[in-house]
Amino acid sequence: MMRNLLYKEFRLAIHPFFSILPILTGALMLIPQWVFFLVPLYFCFMTVPNLFGAYKAGNDLGFSVLLPVRGRDIVKARIVSFCILELLQIASAVVFAILNRVLYHTENLFFNLNPAFFGIVFVLFGVFNLLLFPLFYKTAYKFGAPVIISTIVVVLLATLVELLVVFNGSFRNLMEKSPTAELMTLLAGIVVFVLATIGAFQISARMFEHVDV
């Protein structure tokens, strides 16, 4: 059943352009001396509001509730489809980050492109999911405030990390000079992403059960 719901998401609800967009935005990793956290955050800035707008315009919720599936499965399919797009965004960014390092061989003024960077990206996406979906599924219809609130929070978190790297030498050394710390940050970020997304699903599924659609 989940396979069929995901097929519906990617064949009917999500335009193919949004599967290509991670490659286009990922190429921005090739800009030298840039604030690279903006690259994954383009998912929050561009993909998410456009997807929710398309869902609303196409009455995707009305169609989904007519299907012989549980409400929590509808929520799960939506969250899993977003996670797939997030992972595509990260995978594309990794490829272009490697190209950046090969081409320039220089340290970045802001956060370097290393495993710790992507660990923090996983944290940002985990926090984003944990805020976005429970806020949205309070109504399962209004998406403006949930998108704005969750985006503002992750932008503030990314800004805090960048400021720490620029102005706190100890933090920079930990995140950029210690391979062990970099790998631990990556692993911790993946764990946070998984747990936060599972939490987002559990909360959202409970909320959706009480929504009058």
pLDDT digits (tens, 9 = 90+) for 13-33: 899 999 999 999 999 999 998
CB atoms within 10 A of CB 154: 24
Place of tokens 């169609």: 63
Q: Band of the pLDDT at 39, cuts 50, 70, 90?
A: very high
Q: Is residue 79 a contact partner of residue 201, using CB atoms and an 8 Å limit?
A: yes
CB atoms within 10 A of CB 59: 9
Q: Band of the pLDDT at 12, cuts 50, 70, 90?
A: confident
- Give CA–CA dist 103/191, Å, rounded: 31
Average confidence (pLDDT) over 194-203: 98
- Give CA–CA dist 164/194, Å, rounded: 25
Q: Can you give the pLDDT at residue 64?
A: 85
Q: Can you give the pLDDT at residue 90?
A: 98
Question: Is 157's pLDDT higher than 90?
Answer: yes
Query: What are the C-alpha distances in Å from 132 to residues 37, 153, 170, 174, 198?
Result: 19, 10, 33, 31, 13
CA dihedral 151, 71, 54, 90 (to 10 degrees): 50
pTM for the predicted model, two decimal places: 0.95
